[in-house]
């Protein structure tokens, strides 16, 4: 009976020491916070798991202290219990910080920086520790007074850490760097994804994570790329050279017009791209196209796309990228090789002309003469080949790639059809000088042959009788086009084919001065 009584007294003393009146509230609050945060923020479950394990270890420490108390080891039990209570408070503060800064404040429309959360939680730890020390009967003023020297020693030893903490605070106070900014620092270029109490995390374009101490940011010069607020605007430079035989004004106009009209992803329409003559180099003019990039993540691919458009625009205008004077051409093309190349290109042009219904009545000799006058004109995806309402006296033969036809109306611009390889457009402009009836854009990289009025005028002057057949073909194609481009609620105009053909014939004769 004595042994049973001793065991009963041991359990009673231990249980009363462990199970205090606030214990169920503490355990319930901790579990409620864990379940709530874990459900709302699945990404924080790893942190919650660690915090819960720490909390359970502290509860186990309290149970161990209760057992020691039951055995009569009061002093040791009280010390262990106090440490366990401090640990329980630390776990609750940690979960409360996650709840406050990552759930409640964002729900109210305020996204607090992570460094503010870290510092607030750390201060709460210190306050909780001071409360427990005070509760244990310690005089905090005496501790502070007697620890001044120790504080100075610790501050000196941790000056780098303190510098990082103060640097992080300064960054947030003056907003010199914000999450989402693109920065360049000591050869590192990337996007700021997090600012903590000790470091700033930067993700480079290569997917590398660079950890930069906050003190380094405060002591060194760094560059913030582009504007803020989620809309970047970073000016890029594309360099190229063109021979002096082309007037600089013509080069600048050609390049600016092509880039401003092209639909190139991530190239800002405003400020508009600008081409400038930067230098008179040895044998060529050195130009720079300056455009504004909207996404620094893809700077090189966008530069490449802009270069492709510049190259295609120069080729369409008959200009070539300049070769520096020091370059040497060591391959000598003999006459027979040049003739083979010319014959191959001529055959390709004749094949393209063979698919043009407008020229079906021409002789082989006339087609060959016409093929000699074709001009190779490439376009990049997004380039405007012809614009509705513009006046241009030439037609295009699409030999590779695909284009799209767009019609401008009262409700804006709409896509009405696609033009596959082999299509021909611009006949009315070539034969009558009529304005373009629709806009044609390159849907991919395309190759075209262009024929202008001068290239066809000699044939028409030599054989004016073919104008009648051309007028009938143009009238038929014009009516087909009007049916394609018609609005749903507006039927195409009803015309007499013979009268419409005669009207076009008169316009052809007037345009080419053929007489009646």
502 plus 476 within the same structural domain: yes
Please report the pLDDT score of residue 249 as a whole number. Answer: 87
**Residue 344 covered by a domain:** no
66 plus 83 within the same structural domain: yes
Structure confidence by residue, pLDDT tens digits, 404-451: 999 888 788 888 889 899 888 988 888 888 898 889 999 988 999 999
Domain boundary at 262, 289, 316, which? 316
Please report the pLDDT score of residue 69 as a whole number. Answer: 73
140 plus 214 within the same structural domain: no
184 plus 238 within the same structural domain: no
CB 195 within 8 A of CB 179: yes
User: Residues 487, 491, 497, CA angle at the centre, nearest 5°?
Assistant: 125
**Residue 341 covered by a domain:** no
**Residue 390 covered by a domain:** yes
**Residue 492 covered by a domain:** yes
**Closest to 178 in 3D by CA, of 197, 191, 163:** 191
CATH of the domain at 404: 2.60.120.10
Residue 255: give the domain boundaries: 234-316
User: Residues 174, 180, 184, CA angle at the centre, nearest 5°?
Assistant: 80
CATH of the domain at 242: 3.30.70.100
Q: Is 126 helix (H, G, I), strand (E, B) or coil?
A: helix
**Residue 168 covered by a domain:** no
307 plus 401 within the same structural domain: no
- Distance of alpha carbon 189 from alpha carbon 206, whole angstroms: 10
Looking at the structure of the chain, the number of domains it has is 4
241 plus 208 within the same structural domain: no
500 plus 392 within the same structural domain: yes
**Residue 84 covered by a domain:** yes
Domain boundary at 265, 291, 316, which? 316
84 plus 136 within the same structural domain: yes
**Residue 167 covered by a domain:** no
Domain boundary at 207, 225, 243, which? 225
238 plus 220 within the same structural domain: no
86 plus 191 within the same structural domain: no
- Distance of alpha carbon 333 from alpha carbon 90, whole angstroms: 83
Please report the pLDDT score of residue 136 as a whole number. Answer: 66
Residues paired with residue 375 on neighbouring β-strands, in sequence order: 450
CATH of the domain at 206: 2.30.30.60
Please report the pLDDT score of residue 267 as a whole number. Answer: 93
Please report the pLDDT score of residue 171 as a whole number. Answer: 66
Structure confidence by residue, pLDDT tens digits, 220-234: 788 888 765 556 688
- Distance of alpha carbon 234 from alpha carbon 290, whole angstroms: 10
Please report the pLDDT score of residue 212 as a whole number. Answer: 85
Q: Which residues of the chain register pLDDT less than 50?
A: 1, 154-158, 488-489
219 plus 243 within the same structural domain: no
79 plus 215 within the same structural domain: no
Please report the pLDDT score of residue 328 as a whole number. Answer: 56
**Residue 158 covered by a domain:** no
Q: How many CA atoms lie within 13 A of 379 on its CB side?
A: 29
């Amino acid at each position: 009976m004595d042994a049973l009584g001793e065991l009963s007294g041991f359990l009673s003393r231990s249980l009363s020491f462990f199970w205090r009146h606030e214990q169920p509230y503490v355990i319930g609050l901790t579990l409620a916070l864990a379940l709530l945060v874990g459900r709302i923020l699945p990404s924080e479950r790893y942190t919650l798991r660690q915090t819960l394990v720490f909390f359970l270890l502290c509860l186990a420490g309290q149970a161990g202290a209760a057992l020691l108390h039951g055995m009569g080891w009061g002093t040791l039990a009280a010390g262990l219990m106090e440490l366990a209570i401090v640990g329980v408070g630390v776990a609750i503060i940690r979960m409360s910080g996650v709840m406050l800064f990552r759930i409640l404040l964002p729900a109210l429309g305020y996204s607090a920086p992570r460094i503010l959360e870290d510092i607030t939680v750390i201060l709460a730890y210190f306050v909780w520790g001071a409360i427990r020390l005070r509760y244990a009967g310690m005089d905090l003023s005496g501790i502070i007074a007697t620890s001044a020297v120790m504080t100075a020693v610790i501050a000196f030893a941790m000056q780098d850490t303190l510098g990082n903490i103060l640097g992080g605070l300064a960054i947030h106070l003056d907003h010199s760097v914000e999450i989402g900014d693109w920065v360049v620092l000591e050869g590192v270029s990337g996007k700021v994804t997090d600012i903590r109490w000790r470091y700033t995390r930067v993700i480079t374009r290569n997917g590398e994570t660079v950890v930069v101490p906050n003190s380094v940011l405060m002591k060194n010069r760094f560059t913030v790329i582009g504007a803020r607020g989620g809309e970047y605007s970073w000016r890029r430079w594309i360099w190229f050279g063109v021979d002096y035989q082309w007037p600089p004004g013509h080069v600048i106009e050609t390049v600016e017009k092509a880039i401003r009209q092209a639909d190139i992803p991530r190239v800002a329409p405003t400020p508009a791209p600008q081409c400038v003559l930067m230098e008179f180099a040895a044998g060529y003019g050195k130009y720079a196209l300056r455009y504004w990039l909207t996404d620094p993540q893809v700077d090189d691919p966008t530069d490449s796309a802009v270069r492709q458009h510049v190259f295609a625009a120069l080729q369409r205008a008959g200009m070539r990228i300049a070769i520096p004077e020091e370059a040497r051409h060591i391959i000598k093309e003999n006459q027979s090789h040049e003739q083979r190349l010319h014959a191959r290109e001529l055959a390709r042009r004749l094949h393209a002309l063979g698919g043009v219904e407008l020229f079906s009545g021409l002789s082989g000799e006339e087609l060959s003469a016409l093929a000699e006058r074709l001009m190779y004109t490439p376009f990049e995806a997004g380039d405007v080949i012809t614009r509705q309402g513009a006046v241009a006296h030439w037609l295009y033969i699409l030999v590779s790639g695909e284009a799209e036809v767009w019609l401008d109306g009262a409700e804006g611009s709409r896509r009405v059809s696609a033009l596959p390889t082999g299509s021909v457009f611009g006949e009315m402009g070539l034969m009558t000088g009529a304005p373009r009836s629709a806009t044609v854009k390159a849907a991919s990289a395309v190759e075209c042959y262009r024929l202008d009025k001068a290239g066809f005028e000699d044939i028409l002057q030599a054989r004016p009788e073919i104008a009648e057949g051309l007028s009938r073909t143009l009238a038929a194609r014009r009516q087909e086009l009007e049916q394609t481009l018609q609005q749903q609620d507006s039927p195409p105009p009803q015309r007499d084919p013979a009268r419409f053909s005669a009207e076009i014939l008169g316009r052809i004769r007037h345009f080419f001065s053929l007489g009646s």
